[in-house]
Structure 1
């Protein structure tokens, strides 16, 4: 009985030591695992949109369609005068003539929609609208008179002609409107004194004045 006492004491000490070692190992693992924490990945910043992405898409420019070049000739609604208009490169020149003493040269721009606002000397003006390239409808204001007119598209030799020259010391300036039916309306100024113009040859534009042959040429702006 005396020998078993020390053995039991030694065995109890060994068991207690094993228990303490096991407890320390478990506690150390938990402490290490709780002390180490993995940092979450940093959130990536979203790229800022480029100026081109946030800006509005530029609107493509619309091409402008110019009014076609053409000649127009016709008469006033009261049949008292003739009107001719020539369009070239967005510009217009017109001639109002009664074939006796009243006349006016007018000029200006042609809008893309076919509107005309032409002006001449002494406050003369022409307002008109191009109708699908077939005719011009409008009005002419001259010397206090108001004249509505229609000028249809002209085909050569109809159209607007002019001749300027000096013959035997006198200055001549003439304008002619040749209508589609061959009728001519014009005024010839001799030293600024108007009179009915002699007939021109539509094929060549030639006209004889005081025995001298002049040439009337198509008018362009």
Structure 2
């Protein structure tokens, strides 16, 4: 009896080869599948806030629109025909202003040797721009029936003042005459409360003016009686 050794060995080899071929085919399919293209993972959402219309991500960096500050409106009331008198802020001088029909005349006086007569127009908003000799100037504002607040520039100096509405006999007075051959020109400011500030000019020489009677306007100059009249434009 012959031994089946070679036949069995051949069959075993064929089975082993078939098994190996089957194993390689399975492994190849798996490797091909695993090595295929991958779907990229979605990027995480950004936490930065979106930019606004101005292109700035931070609202604090965006320009802020502001409404313009309302301007102070001019006076809507008509400029009254009235008289005003007051003192400078340094209390060195007095100022009187008379308003009539859109015109103004003013008098600045320190009661010793410094004075100026000024005149000009009054604007509808109560603004005054008055001028006098030697470059003298008064700038003032009257609003809604209140006092006149302004400045007088005279002799290189600037005087701020406030002039309240004057009730007779307060106000501005002037007398012009010839006394003992001299040309006399006097100006008086009667302040609220009765105090008087004035200068009497004799042929170009100023001095403190004598006191007038504000009820009648009478004043005595070098023994001669004169009458000082209220001043209006």
TM-score by length of 2: 0.67
Q: Of residues 88, 111, 114 in structure 2, which corresponds to 1:102?
A: 114
The CA deviation at 1:131 is 2.6
- Equivalent positions of 1:196-215 (< 5 A) are 196-215=208-227
Q: Of residues 99, 111, 118 in structure 2, which corresponds to 1:87?
A: 99
Structure-2 residue corresponding to 1:138: 150
Unpaired segments of 5 or more residues in structure 2? 1-75
Counterpart check, 1:168 vs 2:186: no
Q: Is the 8 A contact 1:94 1:106 kept in 2?
A: yes
The CA deviation at 1:67 is 1.2
Q: Is the 8 A contact 1:77 1:147 kept in 2?
A: yes
Q: Tell me the distance in 1 between the aligned counterparts of 2:157 and 2:119.
A: 19
The CA deviation at 1:68 is 1.1
Q: Tell me the distance in 2 between the aligned counterparts of 1:142 and 1:204.
A: 31
Q: Tell me the distance in 1 between the aligned counterparts of 2:191 and 2:143.
A: 19
Counterpart check, 1:157 vs 2:169: yes
- Equivalent positions of 1:172-187 (< 5 A) are 172-187=184-199
Unpaired segments of 5 or more residues in structure 1? 1-63
Structure-2 residue corresponding to 1:219: 231
The CA deviation at 1:65 is 6.5
TM-score by length of 1: 0.70
Structure-1 residue corresponding to 2:129: 117
Q: Tell me the distance in 2 between the aligned counterparts of 1:69 and 1:91.
A: 9
Q: Tell me the distance in 2 between the aligned counterparts of 1:170 and 1:198.
A: 16
State the number of aligned residues. 158
Counterpart check, 1:126 vs 2:138: yes
RMSD of aligned Cα (Å): 1.1
